[in-house]
Amino acid sequence: MINKDFFEALKDLEAEKGINEEVFISALEQALTAAYKKNSGMAKNAQVKLNPEKNTIRIYSYRTVVETVEDEDKEISLEDAKKLKASHKIGDIISEEESTKDFNRIAVQTAKQVITQKIKEIERQSIFKDIAEKEGKLVVTNVKRIDGENVYLEIGGTTLEGLLTKRDLLPNDNFKVGDRIKVYVRHIKEDFRGSVVQVSRTHANFVRLLLEIEVPELQNGDVNIVNIVREAGLRTKIAVSTKVPNLDAVGACVGNRGSRINSVINELHGEKIDIINYNENPADYIIAALSPAEVSEITVDTAAGVANVLVPENKLSLAIGRGGHNVRLAAKLTGYKIDVKPSKGIESHEKNDVVNASNANIILDDDFFADIDE
C-alpha cells in the first residue's frame, strides 16, 4: 500500500514544487476517507490517517457511547463499551482501527489522482497570485491567437490568457499572432472556464501608465495627474499639477519638442492628447479644459455646477468637437456641465448668472453628458 517510497516521493515534490508536504497529507486524508466510505458502503464515522514519520496509513472508525443504540454504525451501548474499557461512560467517543486489506488498490489510485490534482491547483493558484499583482498595471504581452473580434494574449509566459475584447481595442488596432503589445490589466475574474485576465487599450489608465513610463517627474511624484478622461481613438484630456517651484508640469509631460508625449501618441495610433494645468479657479480650469478651443466669455454657477461658455462662431465646431467629444471630455474632466454657444446673437449677462439657453444654437442636455463606459 502506501509505503516509505510514497512518503519520500512527497518530500521530493515539496522540494521540487515548493509545496508543503502537509498540504498533500491533508488533501490525501480527506480524499482517502471519502474513498474508503464509498468503497466499504458503511455509514460509519471513519477517518484515514497518514503518518509520514512512521510511513504508515491507518483507518479508524468512531462510535459514540449511548444508553440505547439506534444506529449501530455510529453508536455503541454502554454495556459493550465497558467490555472494551471499563472506564467508558455515556458520551465517550470510541475509536477502532479498521482493516486496510481490501483498500490497497483504491488507496493507491486515489493518492495518484489527489496528488496530480493538488499540484495543478497549487500551481494555478501561484500563477493567479502573480497575475493578480499586475492588476491595475501596464504589461507587455504576446498575441497568442485571434478569435473573431477577441484577441487572446500570453502574459509573462504563464498559462493564463489575457483577453482583449472589441470594446478594449483601439479603432486602429490591427494585430496578428506573435505581435508584442502593451495592455492595461483591468481586472481578473473567475468563471466556469477558470481565470480570465481582462485587459484593455481603451481605458483611461492605459494612457496614464504610458505617460508615466515617459515622464520621470510623474514617477517620482514631482508632477501629479489630477484627473484623466478619455474617448479612446479620439481624444484624451489630462489635468496635471505640481508643488515644485518653477517646474512646468505640462512641459514636463510634453517633453523637449514633444518627445515624451509623442511616444504615447504613437502607441495610441495618433489619438489626440490635451494636457493642461489643473486650476482651482473653475472658470480658468474650464477654459483650459476646452482646449484647443478659444473661449470668448464664460460664466460659472458653482452651486449648480454649470458653466455657460461663449466661443467665436467660427470656432464653435472646434469647441464642441466631433460628435461633441471635446466639450463632453471637458465636462468630465472638470465636473461641470458645460453649455457652449456661439458669441453672435447672445445677449450680455451679469457675472455669476447662468446664461438663458433658450435661444442657443447648441444645447447639451443631460443625456449628452452621460458617462462614457471606460
Band of the pLDDT at 208, cuts 50, 70, 90? very high
State the pLDDT at residue 158: 65
So what CATH class is 282-374?
Answer: alpha beta
Least confident of 12-21, 210-219, 240-249, 287-296: 12-21
Lowest mean pLDDT among 122-131, 192-201, 250-259, 268-277: 122-131
Residue type, 118: K
What pLDDT band is residue 180 in, cutting at 50, 70 and 90?
very high
Split at pLDDT 50, 70, 90, the class of 46 is confident
The percent of residues in the chain predicted with pLDDT above 70, rounded, is 86
> What homologous superfamily is domain 203-278 in, according to CATH?
K homology (KH) domain (3.30.300.20)
CA 183, CA 141: separation in Å to the nearest integer? Answer: 7
Query: Does residue 77 sit in helix, strand or coil?
Result: strand
| Cα–Cα nearest to 106, from 19, 182, 37 | 37
Amino acid 329: pLDDT: 96
**Can you give the pLDDT at residue 60?**
87
Report the pLDDT value the prediction gives residue 107, as an integer from 0 to 100.
Answer: 72
Asked which of 55-69, 70-84, 117-131, 265-279 is least confident by mean pLDDT, the reply is 117-131
Provide the grid cell at 228: 484623466
Q: How many helices (H) and strands (E) does the chain have?
A: 11, 15
**pLDDT single digits (tens) 329-338:** 999 999 999 9
* Spatial contact of 286 and 338, defined as CB atoms under 8 Å apart: yes
Mapped onto helix, strand or coil, the DSSP state of residue 122 is helix
| Phi, psi for residue 140 in degrees, rounded to 5 | -100, 130
CATH superfamily of 4-131: NusA, N-terminal domain (3.30.1480.10)
- How many other C-beta atoms are found inside a 10 Å radius of the C-beta of residue 95? 12
Task: List the strands of the sheet with 235-242, edge to edge.
Answer: 223-231, 235-242, 272-277
Residue 111 CB-density burial (10 A; 0-12 exposed, 13-18 middle, 19+ buried):
buried
More confident residue, 357 or 149: 149
| Lowest mean pLDDT across 46-55, 61-70, 153-162, 322-331 | 153-162
CB neighbours of 124 closer than 8 A, spacing ≥ 6?
A: 159, 194, 195
Q: Is 147 helix (H, G, I), strand (E, B) or coil?
A: strand
Evaluate whether 140-200 and 282-374 have a shared fold. Answer: no
Beta strands in 263-342 (DSSP E): 272-277, 297-301, 306-311, 337-342
Q: What is the pLDDT of residues 88-106, one digit of tens each?
A: 999 999 988 887 776 767 7
Distance CA 232, CA 167 (A): 10
Q: Which cell goes with 365?
A: 442636455
Assess contact for 100 and 110: CB atoms under 8 A: no
Where are the alpha helices (H) located in the chain, listed in sequence order?
A: 4-17, 21-40, 78-84, 104-132, 204-214, 216-219, 249-254, 259-267, 282-289, 316-320, 325-334
Q: Where are the domains of the chain?
A: 4-131, 140-200, 203-278, 282-374
Q: Is 252 helix (H, G, I), strand (E, B) or coil?
A: helix
Q: Which fold has domain 140-200?
A: OB fold (Dihydrolipoamide Acetyltransferase, E2P) (2.40.50)
